[in-house]
Amino acid sequence: MKINPAHLGFDIDGVVADTGGAFIRIACEEYGISSLTLEDITSFDVVDCLDMDQGIIEAIFGRLLDDPLDAGLQPMQDAVSVLHSLAAKAPLTFVTARPHEEPIARWLEHFLQPDTFKSIRLIAMGVHDRKTSYIKNLGLKYFVDDRLQTCRKLAEAGITPLVYNQPWNKNGHDLPTVNNWQDIQALCAE
């Protein structure tokens, strides 16, 4: 499988951004919950797998959604360098279920080179379940996402999902996966 970068799109949280890592750090630094590790997040719906006050969970995700830069959200290892190398071949496309585009646009602008950022396509859907039709309309054939339900829907619609391996998506599927950004780079290499 060799992927033309022009046909590849990316989810942001859990793929480009280390949202799980940021969640754990904020839980520790701001709420004193120090026992949490990434492996404890075994469900995409964090409320279902962590024995943690729902109000705190919502407050942390609220911060990550409203001001990801201020919340200290970091890119995944190698994400920025691989995105720049892919951007040399085709504009980057991001489709996120985040409700607001502006905070995550500022986050991308902070980490991407100005020329790369200027040419991105960024769609903030607000919901998970309409991603498929958008991704199809954008002409994408491959999409990297960490939410299994989204990946299954993409596969049903004829788009090849690449499940970005995370503790919350490891079980119960036989879809193609990537472990890290080096894997993504390798799939796109000529």
SS3 label, residue 171: coil
For position 18 contacting Mg ion by CB under 5 A, the verdict is no
* 38 or 89: CB nearest Mg ion: 38
User: Rounded CA gap, 14 and 165, in Å?
Assistant: 9
Within 132-171, the residues that bind Mg ion by CB under 5 A are 146
Confirm if 45 and 52 have CB atoms less than 8 A apart: no
Residue with smaller CB distance to Mg ion, 149 or 182: 149
Count of residues near Mg ion by CB under 5 A: 4
- φ and ψ of 76, to 5 deg: -60, 155
Tell me the residue number closest to Mg ion, measured at CB.
14
**Region near Mg ion per CB under 5 A, out of 4-12, 81-89, 105-113, 151-159:** 4-12
User: Which residue among 5, 8, 9, 11 contacts Mg ion (CB under 5 A)?
Assistant: 11
Is the CB of residue 173 less than 8 Å from the CB of residue 152?
yes
Nearer to Mg ion, 115 or 146 (CB): 146
Q: DSSP state, 7?
A: G
Enter the DSSP assignment of 13: B
Per CB under 5 A, residues contacting Mg ion are 11, 13-14, 146
